[in-house]
Structure 1
Amino acid sequence: MNSLPKSVVIVGGSLSGLFHGLYLKRNGSNVVILEQDPNNFRSSHQAGIAYGYAVEEILHRYDATGLQPCTPSVATRIAYHRRQHFMQLGIIRHLTSWGLLYRILRANFDGMMSDAVPNPPLPMPGDGEGAYLVGRRVTSLEPEHGMVKVGFITSDGEEGFLYADLVIGADGVHSTIRNLVHAQVTKEYSGYVAWRGTICECELVPATALYFADRTSLNFLSDTYVVSYIIPPDSGSFTPGTRLVNWVWPSKPDPLATAPCNPPRRSRSPLCGSHLLTRHPFITKVNDALCDRAVFFNGKVILVGDAFATFRPHFAVATEQAARHCLGLGRVWGGEMTLQEWEEEAKTWGKTQWLRGRILGAFGTGRWWEFVKGLWKYVAFVVGLKVRGINFQGLGGQH
């Protein structure tokens, strides 16, 4: 594969699918995104995300809205029990909400209007066609006449199909495409759940709001930890006082608990107590997954994003992985690398993050034997890469 495919079907209409859809559309491919959710406007549940170089690069190249997409985090603060300024790392990230980034990408891909983007940009010279079809659940993949036939069923129960030169599976941790191509995957429940929610800055006392104002915070408590950072609301306001503190709190499930979340004992985290102001917290099981392959059907079906590798949420690298996959495939289509080289780099970077996430999760929840085992596996993996002369730090030379 050394040129852009003319027709592409992307399965999954979240951020990963939209990154790839926008990239391909802007470079002249005709793209159809199939999303099984019947609602044209996806709900964000005010989820926060952090991203780095790869997402920034895609937005720089292809976003024509002119909107501010994120707020910067100048550092990462580590707190340990009562020591709220235990350590500071010079890790700079771009922080935003899933909903705002989704609105920006949809506006560019298919011209969707929203509160954040009331005037979507017009198509640009050289653009291909972009269609976002909701209520389509993919049921089959078949190679046919040098293309891939994608079968689906609509939310009304009608069957249909599309032909494409390339099918991209961007349908998340429970990927249908991954199942249809019989990918070998290591998938595991972590043993804990993640509570998450947001609090408006205006509801916090000034000292607490200031604590979270410009830093990503990682607070280690008693057998748990809290990751928190500032994000804009989905409408895209960055004015202090209108922004949200996004928090994620991993916890062992307690079937006897009567409250959604209880502050750990012996804890003085600025978020403890304040998190109870969250009106609609969410809870999800923390799973991870890692495929041994990303390329199928002789290069005509590719898994990307969470469909290829799903990480535990501590490092917030899921969105960045999806964008890295997209830029890496761009190098394949541009003739700079082969699809096999892209797959190997994606596997290397993915397993590195997968192992790191497991290590931090075990440490943060006090599972010390799992922590030691995870650390040993990570060191052995990295040493093996170095012995083979592989640079595990990036994907395709990206930082």
Structure 2
Amino acid sequence: MSAYEGSRALVIGGSIGGLTAALLLRDLGFDVDVYERTPTDLDGRGGGIVLQPDTLRWFRERSSQRPEDVSTTTSWVQYIGAENRIIDRDARSWSHTSWGTFYQALLSDFGRDHYHLGEFACGFDQDEDSVTVRFVSGREEKAALVVIADGITSANRARIDPDVTLEYSGYIGWRGTVDEADLSAETAGLLNDAVTYNVVPHSQITMYPIPSKRGLAKGQRLMNYVWYRNVPEGPELDEMLISKQGFPGKVSVHPNQVQDRYVNEMRETASRMLAPAAAELVTSTESPFIQVVWDSRASKMASGRVALIGDAACAARPHAAAGTAKAAADAWALSDALTAAAGNIAEALEKWEPSQLELSSNLLTRVKAMGERSQFTNTWTPGDQDLRFGLYGPGR
């Protein structure tokens, strides 16, 4: 019998990191409930993610669903320049998925009976034996372990580390997808089996195929991209983040909510600055959206029986494609620590925290350097190993 049989765990935040943690805790014997503040299933707004080994590990080791059922794979990493000329190309295989596809696969494994939508956790208290979590709805829940995975704007992080701040990187990401069947044959052929970069002065765009609702095969997928563009902090950024409905944003502006004047300027600039294939992809996007690139890292990830994981603990720029991998790595390491502690939750969290803090620090240092090279010093060079995807830290 597991040391945790009959113990209860709460996961605050039902995204990819939260669901991975919930599945692993349930495997340890915990009775697990997940509380997600949004009232409907999450969708990731159609964005794509690169699948690192930590992210895929659940499907490789524990799930009846296979990694190839939820992802696409590319064979190359390439750089294109003017007139779509390939200026660098390496044989490197990566797997990709849509955020929504991966989320739904994890949710399918966890099930809906203990997945609660529309519950905003606004605070907690704890003693030696348990944690009590309070919700905006008036609900209160008690558990032996609480995992906070409520993202970059975490409402509960301050109770663990009150000094965490969001620091603006100096640039945003324009994101979107286009059905590859709607692209020209030349563009689809150039992009369909690669992670493709187009680097221009003080900017770059990264493109790769992801699953669509139609399927995973070539011709059925979506072509996904993120295009990094510098925007000064202050009034210019603040105005850009006001939605069409007049609501100010902080971390993103959703599809169909970006003001038309910014979308029009983005398309005009893409046509002028980017390689033809990249420009076609951007200008063909029906509903592009904005993701603000922030830096954030907590100096504490554990307090008694409460753990902080994923973007709630460390929000890293997307250049290493390691955000979801970091959240999954936090969850797997937590599972290992709890197993080793044989029932002593506070001891497990205390031993788990140092290596995850180091992993966060290493990742954030690395992606900051990558961003500087891309957006400000113009030293992002094809083939440089320091610019590769991945999550690297202690023992990696």
TM-score normalised by length of structure 2:
0.81
Q: Secondary structure at the match of 2:156?
A: helix
Residues 81, 315 of structure 1: CA spacing in aligned structure 2 closer, same or farther, 3 A cutoff? farther
- Residue of structure 2 equivalent to 1:381: none
Matched, 1:142 2:128: no
- Does the CA contact (< 8 Å) of 1:69 and 1:101 recur in 2? yes
Alignment match of 1:243 (pick from 195, 200, 221): 221
Shift in CA distance, 393/102, structure 1 to aligned 2, threshold 3 Å: closer
Q: Distance in 1 between matches of 2:84 and 2:287?
A: 29
Partner of 2:58: 58
- Quote the residue 1:171 is aligned against: 150
- Partner SS, residue 320 of structure 2: coil
Matched with 2:339 is 334
In structure 1, the partner of 2:302 is: 295
Question: 1:107-256, aligned counterparts within 5 Å?
Answer: 107-111=108-112, 131-144=114-127, 146-154=129-137, 159-233=138-212, 235=213, 237-253=215-231
SS of residue in 1 equivalent to 2:55: helix
Partner of 1:195: helix, strand, or coil?
strand
Q: Offset at 1:135?
A: 1.1
In 2, Cα distance between equivalents of 1:65 and 1:19 = 14
Equivalent position of 2:102 in the other structure: 101
Match of 2:327 in 1: 322
Q: Is the 8 A contact 1:81 1:266 kept in 2?
A: no
Alignment partners' CA distance in 2, 1:152 and 1:49 = 31
Measured in 2, the distance between the counterparts of 1:315 and 1:237 equals 26
| Aligned partner of residue 176 in structure 1, secondary structure | coil
Aligned-residue CA RMSD (Å): 2.6
Question: Deviation of residue 257 (structure 1)?
Answer: 4.4
- Provide the aligned length of Structure 1 versus Structure 2: 350
Query: Residue 226 of structure 2: SS of its match in structure 1?
Result: strand
Q: Which residue of 1 aligns with 2:45?
A: 45
- In the TM superposition, what whole-angstrom CA distance separates every residue of 1:222-275 from its partner, at most 9, and x where no partner exists? 221001110001x37112111010010111237674615121645424211331
User: Does the alignment pair 1:365 with 2:375?
Assistant: yes
Residue identity opposite 1:363 in structure 2 = R
Q: Decide which moves more: 20-29 or 333-342.
A: 333-342
Higher share in helix = 2
Asked whether 1:21 is paired with 2:22, we answer: yes
Indicate if the aligned counterparts of 2:158 and 2:164 stay in contact, CA closer than 8 A. Answer: no
Question: 1:374 is matched with which residue?
Answer: none
The residue type paired with residue 18 of structure 2 is G
Q: Which runs of 5+ in 2 are unaligned?
A: 241-260, 342-346, 381-385
Aligned mates of 2:288, 2:129 — CA distance in 1: 48
In 2, Cα distance between equivalents of 1:315 and 1:80: 21
Deviation at residue 366 of structure 1 after TM alignment: 2.7
| TM-score normalized by the length of structure 1 | 0.80
Change in Cα spacing, 1:295 to 1:258, as seen in structure 2 (3 Å) is: closer
2:286 partner SS? coil
CA contact (8 A) 1:208 1:270 kept: yes
Aligned-residue sequence identity (percent) comes to 25
**In 2, distance between residues paired with 1:274 and 1:49?**
17
Q: How many angstroms does 1:186 deviate by?
A: 4.8
Q: Contact 2:161–2:300 (CA<8 Å) still a contact in 1?
A: no
Whichever residue aligns with residue 64 of structure 2, its letter is A
Q: 5+ unaligned residues in a row in structure 1: which ranges?
A: 112-129, 372-377, 379-391
> Is residue 312 from structure 1 mapped to residue 299 from structure 2 by the alignment?
no
Q: 1:338 to 1:301 in 2, by over 3 A?
A: closer
CA contact (8 A) 1:46 1:97 kept: yes
Q: Distance in 2 between matches of 1:7 and 1:349?
A: 28
Shift of 1:59: 1.2
Q: Distance in 1 between matches of 2:30 and 2:262?
A: 51
Asked if structure 2 preserves the Cα contact closer than 8 Å seen for 1:9 and 1:33, the reply is yes
Aligned pair partner of 1:272 in 264, 269, 279: 279
Q: Which residue of 2 aligns with 1:127?
A: none
The match for 1:350 among 357, 360, 372 is 360
Give the match's secondary structure for 2:44: coil
Q: Distance in 1 between matches of 2:92 and 2:300?
A: 31
* 1:7/1:29 contact within 8 Å kept: yes
Deviation at 1:25? 1.8
Query: How much does 1:212 deviate?
Result: 1.5
Offset from partner CA, 1:118-138 (integer Å, 9 cap, x none): xxxxxxxxxxxx611111111
Q: In structure 2, do the counterparts of structure 1 residues 20 and 271 end up closer, same or farther at CA, with 3 Å as the change threshold?
A: same
Letter in 2 for 1:75: W
Checking the alignment, whether the CA contact within 8 Å between 2:160 and 2:300 is kept in structure 1 is no
Amino acid at match of 2:225: W
Structure-1 separation of matches of 2:151 and 2:374: 25
